[in-house]
Each structure stands twice: as structure tokens, then as C-alpha cells.
Amino acid sequence: MSSPVVTRFAPSPTGYLHIGGARTALFNWLFARHFGGTFRLRIEDTDRQRSTEDAIEKIFEGMRWLGLDWDGDVVFQFSRAALHAAAARRLIDEGKAYYCYCTPEELTAMREEARAKGLPPRYNGYWRDRDPAEAPPGVSPAVRLKSPREGETVVQDLVQGEVRFSNTELDDMILLRSDGTPTYMLSVVVDDHDMGITHVIRGDDHLTNSARQSQLYMALGWEIPAFAHIPLIHGPDGAKLSKRHGALGVDAYRDLGYLPEAMRNYLLRLGWSHGDDEIISTAQAIEWFGVESIGRSPARFDFAKLDNLNGHYLREADNHRLTGLVAAELVKDLGHALSDDVIRRIEVCMDGLKSRAKTLVQLVDSSKFLAAQRPLALDPKAEKMLAAGAPGRDRLAALRGAIADLDSFSAPQIEGAARGLAEATGDKLGDYAQPLRAALSGSTVSPPIFEVAEALGRDEALGRIADVLGR
Ligand code: GLU
């Protein structure tokens, strides 16, 4: 690449950072990092009614959580409105834009007339060549671009190829509204130019905008950036993405228990591929990413795939880090701090815990028994196994006798004791392990139970058993 790559993510802060936006941000970030370029963040806050501080904060939070660091200061588009207006005035001075004095009523009439003739509703260029001296009094004009009337505007898209628009389809767009505020079309072009953006990677709902923006670049005499339009994300049924099918904010994915690295991998695969590779680390993604491997058809969102990827990244994740994440959730859940001993237990059992979880929520859930205070609540299956008269209860009592005075309360010793009993009675190891599991975890599923017993320690483990047998 000849000039250094500069990309940007330019969200409008009118709601949460949704999954499509996050993918756009990721692609721009990867592209910049791949080329050792620059990735900028621009908040398009020109819609003063709909832009909120809360949404801006959510965007920052979401980007930080996803690990998409941006370079330089955040650009707030609204703060640059004077520069946008100046560009429009330059075009007026150069005869490339003009004042349009049409009233809203006239514009409505114009659209209706076009519709009646079966034409798309477009501005008919009424003030394009008219003498401003004819301007009606008391009407503040909008500024429109004198766009080419004949020929075609061609967008050379890095994903979609060459996309042609007949200029008769593109009317003279408004650059400044009659109240003097710049339109999105003008602001984006001026900002992208001033920020030195070389590549605009965004959703393909912006494709027509790119044709209009190209006309504006040409009028301003500026170089047009390269465009790459990514197909939108669809639901698993191929229809537009709905909330139920994943059209959620990035914060919702965090709350559902997905790890940022799993999200990055998943979002990457939503529309980009590298052979049949499914698991692609971020480092690998930076090395491999390019717009030429972005697919041309809409990607389908699939929670099952995301869950599988997340399970993979959970297993890969460092136990100490996971323990911190789990502990933070447990504190919220239990409403009190965790003792160092409880945190140690969780970390010791983490291999067993994470191998069974697909999400952090499941991991937290399956860790709860380690933090629970005695006496434990038993789930119905555990209850049944340890009920009065049940064989599991007698076996638990026998096992208690065999482990109470072990020299070292370690997993191999505890398991050895259970094995010894099973051999002596002709039962299976599980006949002793399951009642122990029920007593120590309150349920019939847990990480390897002898390890759990060791992690709980002699006093806590025997205490939990005594609680059950004392009932
Ligand atoms: N602010 C626009 C949006 O949220 C994106 C503009 C752009 O990427 O050019 O859709």
C-alpha cells in the first residue's frame, strides 16, 4: 500500500453499539492494524435530538471491552460544523453548489408530482440555474450540490466491485439545510478528508451514499477514499437481524457471558473468511485480514456457533483471569465480598469448571456452590440421592468415616478411600463419588469431585457432609 492506511469507525450515538456496528469497527481496526496504519474513532453526533451522552459512553465502553483501541483523540462531528459549512460556501463561490429557496410545501408538491408520474421522488433542480435575485423574501435557503446531470457515477468498491449509478438517479443533494446545519453527506466527506481517511469500510446500506459522496469529493477537488461495503448481518433464517436473533448491543453480549476474544473471532467470521478456519486468534486475524476475503452475501448470525467459539476461548483462558471475572459476578450475586479461601477454591477448580461451560454466565452458575455458605441447599436429584433410607446416604456415611482422618486431605487420597470402599463392597466408584458430589455441591453435576473435596478443604468438606447426614 503506497500511502499509510487510515481507517475510521464513525457511529452515530443514537442507541447502543449494536453488533453490526461492532463488526464494522472490528474490520476497520483489523485493516489498519494489518497495514500498521491508523484507526480513528469519530462520533457522528450531528443529530442533536437523538444523540445522547449515554450512547457515546456505551460506544466507548463497547470498543474498550472488545479491545478495539483507537488512535489519537476521538473526533466529535458536531464540533466541526463550521468547517463543514465553510466547505459548502466554497462550493457556492466556485459555482458548484447553489442556494435553493424551495419551501417545504413546494418540495412536498414536487415529490408528489414525481410520484404521480411514476418517477422516484427527487428534487427537480428548480433553483439550480435560477437567478438568486428571484428569491422569495423571508425564505432562508438550503445549499445544494450541482451534481452532474448526465453520465454515471461509479463506485469502485473493494468488496462489491464496480458499482454504477446513473446520474439521473442522484438528485442535487442538500449540503446545508435552511437553518444552516450541515447534512450527514457533507459532514462525512469533510471529516473523512480532513482526517486523511484512506479506506472507508462500512455496511452496504451506505453504498448509494458513497456514490453521492464521490460526487462531492469531486466537486471539492479531493481524492476519493477507497470504499469497501460489507454485506449486512442477517438472522439465521436469512431475514433481517431481529433482537431475538442477535440484534443486541455489545453490552448485552458481555452480560450473556461472552468473552471479548470470542466475540472478536465470531464477528470476524461474520462476513470474512480464511479458508475453512473457524478459530482465529486476534494476532492471526491481524496478520491475515484483508478486504478481498469479505463475502458478498449477507452473513447469518448463529448463537450456537458463538457459544461453541466462546466455549473454546473459555477453555483457553487463563484461570486466574477467569477466577477474577467469576468472583466479580458472584459478589454481585451474593451481595457480599468473597473470602480469599473461596477465591482460591474457585481457581483450584477452574480447569474442571471451564471445561463444562460455554458462557461466563454458566461458569458463574457452576461455581456458586464453591462460594455457598453451609448448610447447602440441595437440588431435587441430590436430595433424592441422599434421602433417608437411600443407599447413597449410607455410602456417604461410610465414606465420611474413611476420609475424616486421612493424613492429607488430597484428591488422590480421598479417591483412594472411595475406591477402597467400593472394592470392599463390590460397588462402583461412582456409587461413592455421586453421593459425595451431592453433599459437597448440592447437585449431581460438578467438576471432578475429589478435586472439589480437596479444594474445599477438610473442615468445609466434612462440615457439608455432616449437614447432610444430620438432617
Ligand atoms: N454514522 C453513520 C452510521 O452510523 C456511519 C457513517 C459512515 O460510516 O460513513 O451509520
At 334, list the grid cell. 451474593
Residues 268 and 350 grouped into a single domain: no
**pLDDT of 1 over the 60 cut:** no
> Counting beta carbons within 10 angstroms of the beta carbon of residue 344, is it exposed (0 to 12), middle (13 to 18) or buried (19 or more)?
middle
Residue 219 lies in a domain: no
Complete DSSP assignment for 229-244 = EEPPEE-TTSSBP-GG
Q: Do 69 and 89 belong together in one domain?
A: no
Residue 133 and residue 60 in one domain: no
Is the alpha carbon torsion for 351, 357, 358, 364 positive or negative? negative
Atom nearest to 8 CA in ligand 1: 8
Of 371, 395, 411, the residue at which a domain comes to its end is 371
Assigned C-alpha cell, 87: 466547505
8 touches 40 (CB < 8 A): yes
Read off the pLDDT band of 2 (50, 70, 90).
low
Helix (H) or strand (E) holding 188: helix 184-194
Alpha-carbon span 129 to 123, nearest angstrom = 13
The reported pLDDT for the residue numbered 417 is 98
The confidence score (pLDDT) of residue 399 equals 98
Indicate the angle between helix axes 429-441 and 391-403, nearest 10 degrees: 90
Averaged over 147-175, what is the pLDDT? 96
| Sign (positive or negative) of CA dihedral 398, 401, 407, 409 | positive
For residues 143 and 89, state if they share a domain. Answer: yes
Q: What is the pLDDT of residue 120?
A: 83
Closest CA relative to residue 342, chosen from 356, 353, 326, 354: 326
| Ligand 1 geometric centre to CA of 58 (Å) | 16
Domain boundary among 304, 336, 371: 371
- Identify whether residues 180 and 84 lie together within a single domain: yes
Q: Does 357 reside within a domain?
A: yes
pTM (predicted TM-score):
0.93
| Pocket perturbation via mutation, ligand 1, pick of 19, 44, 45 by most ligand atoms within 8 A of CB | 44
Q: Which residues constitute the domain of residue 453?
A: 380-469
Burial class of residue 232 in the structure, from the number of CB atoms within 10 Å of its CB (0-12 exposed, 13-18 middle, 19+ buried): middle
Say yes or no: 94 and 173 in one domain. Answer: yes
As a whole-number percent, the residues of the chain with pLDDT over 70 amount to: 100
Report yes or no on 459 lying in a domain.
yes
Residue 203 alpha carbon, nearest atom of ligand 1: 8
Instruction: Please compute the mean of the pLDDT values over residues 204-214 and round it to a whole number.
Output: 97
* Mean pLDDT of all residues in 20-42: 98
What average pLDDT does this structure show over 461-467? 98
At 471, the pLDDT band (50, 70, 90 cuts) reads confident
- Determine, yes or no, domain membership for 223: no
Catalytic residue among 243, 305, 332, 358, which? 243
Catalytic residue list contains 332:
no
Q: Angle at the Cα of 268 (from 263 to 273), degrees rounded to 5?
A: 145
pLDDT band at 125 (very low <50, low <70, confident <90, very high): very high
Please, what is the angle between helix 340-348 and helix 449-456, to 10°?
Answer: 160
- The answer to whether residue 200 sits within a structural domain is no
Task: Report residue 274's pLDDT band, with 50, 70 and 90 as the boundaries.
Answer: very high
- Same domain? 328 vs 302: no
Phi and psi of 164, rounded to 5°?
A: -105, 135
Going by alpha carbons, the residue nearest to atom 7 of ligand 1 is 10
Which tens digits make up the pLDDT trace of 226-267?
999 999 999 888 888 877 787 889 999 999 999 999 999 999
With a cut of 80, say whether residue 455 has pLDDT above it: yes
Asked if the model's pLDDT at residue 301 lies above 70, the reply is yes
Choose among 375, 374, 382: nearest CA to 438: 382
CATH number for the domain that contains residue 422 = 1.10.10.350
Q: Burial-class residue 391 by CB neighbours within 10 Å (0-12, 13-18, 19+).
A: exposed
What whole-number distance in Å separates Cα of residue 202 and Cα of residue 220?
22
Structural element, H or E, at residue 207: helix 207-220
Instruction: Please give the C-alpha separations between residue 130 and each of 100, 104, 146, 171, 191, in angstroms, as whole numbers.
Output: 9, 18, 12, 16, 31
Question: Over the stretch 339-364, which tens digit does the pLDDT of each residue have?
Answer: 999 999 999 999 999 999 999 999 99
Are 127 and 148 contained in the same domain? Answer: yes
120 within some domain = yes
Structural contact between residues 437 and 449, judged by C-beta atoms closer than 8 angstroms: yes
* Mutational test site, ligand 1, from 28, 184, 202, 209, max ligand atoms within 8 Å of CB: 202
Residue 189, classed as helix, strand or coil, is helix
What is the total count of domains within the chain?
4
Distance from the alpha carbon of residue 130 to the mean position of ligand 1, in angstroms: 34
Q: Which amino acid is at 114?
A: A
Is the shortest distance between the CB of 192 and ligand 1 below 6 Å? no
Q: Is the CB of 202 under 6 A from ligand 1?
A: yes
Ligand 1 pocket test, candidate residues 14, 47, 188, 216, most atoms within 8 A of CB: 188
| Per-residue pLDDT, 241 | 84
Task: Based on the fold, state whether residues 364 and 439 are members of the same structural domain.
Answer: no
Task: State mean pLDDT over 17-44.
Answer: 97
Domain CATH number, residue 166: 3.90.800.10
If asked whether residues 53 and 118 sit together in one domain, one would say no
Q: From the CA of 74, how far away is ligand 1's center (Å)?
A: 15
What is the three-class DSSP state of 212?
helix
Q: Give the whole-angstrom CA distance, residue 220 versus residue 218.
A: 5
Q: What is the dihedral of CA 388, 394, 395, 400, to 10 degrees?
A: 100
More confident residue, 96 or 122: 96
Give the Cα separation of 91 and 224 in Å (integer).
17
Q: Are residues 68 and 142 in the same domain?
A: no
**Contact indicator for 295, 160 with CB cutoff of 8 Å:** no
Question: Is residue 465 a part of any domain in this protein?
Answer: yes
**Residue 132's pLDDT is what?**
87
**How remote is the CA of residue 200 from the centroid of ligand 1, in Å?**
10
In this structure, the answer to whether residues 65 and 107 fall within a common structural domain is no
Cβ count within 10 A of residue 312? 17
Is residue 98 situated within a structural domain? yes
Q: Give whole-number Cα distances, 349 to 216, 441, 449, in Å.
A: 61, 12, 10
DSSP string, 409-469: --HHHHHHHHHHHHHHHT--HHHHHHHHHHHHHSSS--S-HHHHHHHH-HHHHHHHHHHHH
